[in-house]
Amino acid sequence: MKRNSFYLCVAAVAFFEVAIFWLSVEISDPLPCVLAIVLGILGIYLTKMYIHEVVEDERTKKITEITALRTLQFTWIGLFLFALWIIIEALGEGVRHFNRPLGIFGFRLLVLLCGIIVLYVILSLYYNKKYGA
C-alpha cells in the first residue's frame, strides 16, 4: 500500500467514525461510538504496518508539521468566525430578544478557542525551553 492510499483509508475511517457517532446520538447509546473509536484506532494502526514506502523521514516530518500548523490556524479562524456568527445570530433583533442557549454556545466556543491559544503558547514555551531556543 502506498502512503497516499493509507491517508485515504484514514479519511474513510474518519467518515465512518462520524456516521457511528451520529448513530449513537440517534439511539442514545454511547457504546457503538466507543467501540467504533477503538476499532478505528486499531484499524489505522494495522493498516500503517502494510505501507511499502518510507512512512516518515525528515522531509515528511517537516511537511506534516507545517500541514498541522496550517490546519490548526485555518480551523481556529473558521471556528472563531463561526462563534461570532452564532453570537450575532443569537442577538437577533437586539439584546432583548437574545436567544440564550445559542448565545451561550457561541460564548463557550469563544472560550474554548482562547484556551487553544493558551495551550499553544504554553507548549511553545515548553518546547523552546526543552530544545534551547
Q: What confidence tens digit (pLDDT) does each residue in 69-99 have? A: 999 999 999 999 999 988 888 887 666 677 7
Of the pLDDT bands very low, low, confident and very high (cuts 50, 70, 90), residue 51 is: confident
- Asked if residues 83 and 110 have their Cβ atoms less than 8 Å apart, the reply is yes
- Asked if residues 109 and 86 have their Cβ atoms less than 8 Å apart, the reply is yes
> In the chain, what is the straight-line distance between the N-terminal and C-terminal CA atoms, in Å?
39
Q: What confidence tens digit (pLDDT) does each residue in 10-38 have? A: 999 999 999 999 999 889 888 999 999 99
